[in-house]
Structure 1
Amino acid sequence: MADTSPASLAKELLAILDRDEGRLHRIDNFIRGRHDDPYMPPQADDEYKLLAKRAVSNWMPLLIGTPAQALYVDGYRPGKATSGLPVASSSTSGQWAHWQRSRMDARQAAIYRGALGFGHSFVLTEKTKKGVISKGLSAKRTAALYEDPANDDEAYAALTVTAKPKGETPGKARMFDAKYEYAVTFKSFSDLDSVRVGGRKLHGASECPVTRFAASVDLEGRTMGVVEPMIPLQNRINQTIFDLLVAQTYTSHEVRYATGMAPPMQMELVDEDGNVTTDAALAVDSRPKLDGAGNPVPATINHNARRFLFAEDPDVKFGSLPAGPIAPLIESVDMSIRHWAAISQTPPHHMLGQIANLSAEALLAAETALARKITEFQSLFGESWERVFRIAAEMDGDGAAQDDFAGEVQWRDMESRSLAQAADALGKLADQLGIPKRGLWKRVPGVTQTEYEDWEQMAEDDDSVGQLASALTRATPDTGIPASPDSEVVAA
């Protein structure tokens, strides 16, 4: 039987962080633009190394930012009523109050970007003095254990590092299981003998309060982000850019040459004692200047487009070497970027900036693969948010919401379309298909949750006024005498 003591779990979780540290650090470097150096000769000088630094073209943030900017939770609709009352709206439910208390409108983007970059990120739900809140945790500092990592959404233990070791000061971490939170100290990820588990306390939930947000999980339980598969192609692009810069620097211009002519030498003045002098009045002769090895030093030739070359010797010949072509290298860069777009499901016009003369149908077709990928991420992350809401409800003492497995996260529609097009489409849905008009309000482009709730309240107010007017009409007897224009109806 496996050892499930707190100390054993802490060691296993720290071992996972130690195992994944190198891989995650490499991914983080590529996200931040610290890429592998392109190939260059072993004897490369400083000029080559400078070109290598300038050859880095970091496409990784685009891989993460393009889908992340389309992921925005705009509401949550509970799936069942509490206390026999009608289902609460998004803004009045306890789950959405927890969302606002946690300031997730601004913080959710970091959770998605972490999951897309590293393959997974985490959210911790906990009780604080301000109430129950949730916050994101980095994959570089957090690990979780699952009985079935491919299918379970509930970890049986999780650990997050709050302070890394520094000198003689040990690192600190918080570990959670299905009931308790533990304080953990350690000297390093690899020094498992130094792991110490301190006191424990109840965290307030009946399961581990750490939720995994995975961009992709296979049946082996392995997570994969959008960055790691593209590292080889990113290196290929950097190598091609480096070759282009080298060709542009050394062979992209004509090289002029002269044969049969010795270059002029630098001369220095000497006095009558044979010593070098800079005073022309004391100089009696001149001689070629020698370097440290005793060789004459040639003079610098100031040559540019405004100067004319000539030689007195008739055997001197002038000529030029043609510039090397750089168009094939530019075409190679374009080809690599197109491969990048195909493999990453990123629309080519997002990367190449070529959108001229594209029809609406062509743009829609180019965006289809990206839309499908975003829909997949919404499904994965939506299930994770629903678990977060259930844990928060349990910590808040809302038993009904705790067991609400039918609630749904509402994602904001980030598709670009004009208000006139949307109004025409929504009108046809209402008139031709008979869909209730109030059911289409959420599909109005750009509508916020607050505006939607205001519309509902105004509609209810209008209904109340209409019902009151109808009731007064039915209660007033018809005398057959037309009412005077100056008469007033007073409702007691």
Structure 2
Amino acid sequence: MIETTTPLGLARQLLGILYRDEQRLRRIDDYVQGRHDDPYMPANSDDEYRLLVKRAVSNWMPLLIGTPAQALYVDSFRRGSAATSTPEGGELPEWTHWQQSRLDARQIAVHRGALTYGHSFTLTERTSKGARTKGLSAMKTAALFEDPANDMVPFAALTVVRWASEDNPGKARMWDGKNEYEVSFKSLADEKSVKVHNGKRHGASECPVTRFAAAVDLEGRTVGVVEPMIPLQNRINQTVFDLLVAQTYGSFKVRTVTGMAPPALMKPVYGNPADPTEVTDYEPVRDEQGRPVPAPINANAKRFLFAEDPDVKFSSLDETPLTGFIESIDMSIRHLSAISQTPPHHLLGQIANLSAEALLAAETALSRKIEEFRKSFGESWERVFRLAAELEGVTSSAEDYSGEVLWRDMEMRSLAQSADGLGKLAEALEIPKRGLWSRVPSVTKQEMDEWARLREEEDGELALANALYRASGSSSDIPADPGVANE
């Protein structure tokens, strides 16, 4: 909810949002980086226990982020009916802006940020080289919406350029619907230290910051893929820690002896006054209470234990079974797979003897999840294209609300299967062949542009050959089948 519309009031409110969300976002970031909450252990644990705690961290969070992120690649842009389909130069200004902003690579950080924290941002601004778009971190950026659940355009946005220190105040940039401001502050929690300077026009008709939200509910809250999985991640870490403890202290047989006192640790006695280096006797080493210190027993597979006293009994204690711990870890990972909609074989690595149909069924939930992200992120990228077009003065594209982002098809299909299916579509449904180019697996826009250029060259050469063929006296074009011409 927007409390005030003055630049100072907006700056205070936006910095307050960053202060409010700081701990939550930092906790999410810690889990992505592998800095997890410690598993439970006794209060008097020694250094060996604490070492096992560090080794118990099994960080699944990057995989939960990377799996959908690796299927989210914007491959092209298609204009809607409000703008001309293709300019004379052959390249859409929207896609030229994409390439000049290096968004082929930078889109990855934007998508991963939104999947991690629930939202990320981009800034589209005019530079000396034209309009450019760059990503903004959710940990440094906040935006205000009149209706955060439904509005695409922020009322105002702020991003921190430099955090405050003892020597220098913090510095931030803020945008509203018309102007950009410089903001300084001493602390996110200190509203009185906030100052706003140097308002200037940013050139767009609305706030140039765009939000990328992984999921937004009707309360305007955003949630990523990490935060809901933290309890399950903690459960896995706890089970792994218990496994390491059992493996370290109880995974081997313990040999026991009853009816026999261990031999005492002996030390030499030098009792010859004439020769102080001569050992005259041995005596037991005693502790602070005067009790003999037992000598260490080197028991291993090469040594045989025996006793002279017939009443001495040797026995052993069985090792702790580790199967239950391993099954518990496996169960927790399966729960993680189900709740996060990540295929089990991505987490467990078990893909042996799976048919193509079984793999497709396992990927179905992930495909639906990715499609949901594409719908959300696609709307945001389309707004970025409109903002860039407005800053570049391309009015038709700036008002094109029916443009569409085209995503790269990342489904694993063989080229033979795709060729067979596309051939049947072209033949049975009479779909133009060129309209099916974008459905060729892993094809890029640059490759399709190259195909179009080569096709035009071939058509031009064929047209010239037909003209020469008809000029030679023939009443028809060159046959498509060379064998016909030979007849």
Contact 1:80 1:87 in 2 (8 A): no
Give the Cα separation in 2 of the matches to 1:431 and 1:3.
Answer: 62
Query: Structure 2 length as normaliser, TM-score?
Result: 0.93
Change (3 A) 1:271 1:470: closer
Q: 2:459 aligns with which of 459, 463, 477?
A: 463
Shift, 1:291, TM fit: 2.8
- Does the 8 A contact of 2:232 with 2:332 survive in 1? yes
Q: List per-residue Cα deviations over 1:169-214 (Å, max 9, x = no partner).
A: 1111000001111001111111111111111111110100000000
Q: Which residue of 1 aligns with 2:96?
A: 97
| Alignment CA distance shift 1:125-1:356 (3 Å) | same
Following superposition, the deviation at residue 165 of structure 1 comes to: 1.0
Alpha carbons of 1:273 and 1:472: their partners in 2 closer, same or farther (altered >3 Å)? closer
2:441 counterpart (441, 445, 448): 445
TM-aligned CA distance change 1:183 to 1:478, over 3 Å: closer
1:375 paired with 2:371, answer yes
User: How far apart, CA to CA, are the structure 1 residues paired with 2:167 and 2:459?
Assistant: 70
Is 1:27–1:228's contact at 8 Å kept on the other side of the alignment? yes
Question: Where do 5+ consecutive residues of structure 2 fail to align?
Answer: 476-487
Within 5 Å, which residues of 2 pair with 1:361-400? 361-400=357-396
Quote the offset at 1:463 in angstroms: 3.4
Q: Which residue of structure 2 aligns with residue 39 of structure 1?
A: 40
Identify if the C-alpha distance between structure 1 residues 63 and 470 changes in structure 2 by more than 3 Å, giving closer, same or farther: same
**TM-score where L is the length of structure 1:** 0.92
The answer as to 2:344 corresponding to 1:335 is: no
Taking a change above 3 Å as real, the CA distance of residues 89 and 238 of structure 1, as seen in their structure-2 partners, is farther
Alignment of 1:238 with 2:237, yes or no, is: yes
Q: Distance in 2 between matches of 1:58 and 1:420?
A: 38
Pairing 1:56–2:52 present: no
Q: Is contact 2:75-2:407 (8 Å) kept?
A: yes
CA contact (8 A) 1:77 1:90 kept: no
> What is the rounded CA distance, in whole Å, between the counterparts of 2:223 and 2:468 in structure 1?
66
| Cα distance between partner residues in 2 of 1:156 and 1:457 | 44
1:289-300 alignment, distance < 5 Å: 289-300=285-296
Deviations 1:205-234 (A, max 9, x none): 010000000000000000000000010001
User: Match for 1:422 among 402, 418, 424?
Assistant: 418
Per-residue CA deviation, residues 134-157 of structure 1 (Å, 9 max, x unaligned), is: 110110000000000000000010
Shift of 1:459: 2.3
Once the two structures are superposed, what CA deviation does each residue of 1:392-448 show, in whole Å capped at 9, x if it has no partner? 111111111110111111111111111111100000000011111110011111222
Q: Offset at 1:468?
A: 5.0
Task: For residue 168 of structure 1, give the secondary structure of its aligned residue in structure 2.
Answer: coil
Separation in 1, partners of 2:406, 2:312: 81
Q: Unmatched 5+ residue regions in structure 1?
A: 480-492
> CA 1:429–1:286 in structure 2 vs 1: closer, same or farther (change >3 Å)?
same
In the alignment, the residues of structure 2 paired with residue 195 and residue 52 of structure 1 have an alpha-carbon distance, to the nearest angstrom, of 43
Are 2:263 and 1:267 equivalent residues in the alignment?
Answer: no
Report the Cα offset of residue 88 of structure 1.
3.9
Q: Are the counterparts in 1 of residues 123 and 210 from structure 2 also a CA contact under 8 Å?
A: yes
- Asked if 2 retains the 8 angstrom alpha-carbon contact of 1:122 and 1:138, the reply is yes
- Partner residue of 2:484? none
Which amino acid in 1 is paired with 2:254? V
User: CA deviation digits over 1:103-126, x for unaligned, max 9?
Assistant: 011111011100000000000011
> What residue number does 1:78 align with?
79
Post-superposition CA distance 1:295-354 (Å, at most 9, x none): 322211111111111112222111101112111111111111111111110111111111
Amino acid at match of 2:150: N
Separation in 2, partners of 1:89, 1:406: 21
Residues 122/279 of structure 1: CA separation in 2 closer, same or farther (3 Å cut): farther
Distance 2:295 2:384 in 1: 76
**Percent identity of paired positions between Structure 1 and Structure 2:** 64
Specify the code of the residue in structure 2 equivalent to 1:368: T
| CA distance in 1: counterparts of 2:304 and 2:461, whole angstroms | 95
Shift of the 44–208 alpha-carbon distance from structure 1 to 2, 3 Å rule, reads: same
Shift of the 455–271 alpha-carbon distance from structure 1 to 2, 3 Å rule, reads: closer
SS at match of 2:431: coil
Deviations 1:265-290 (A, max 9, x none): 2222334499xxx9651x44432222
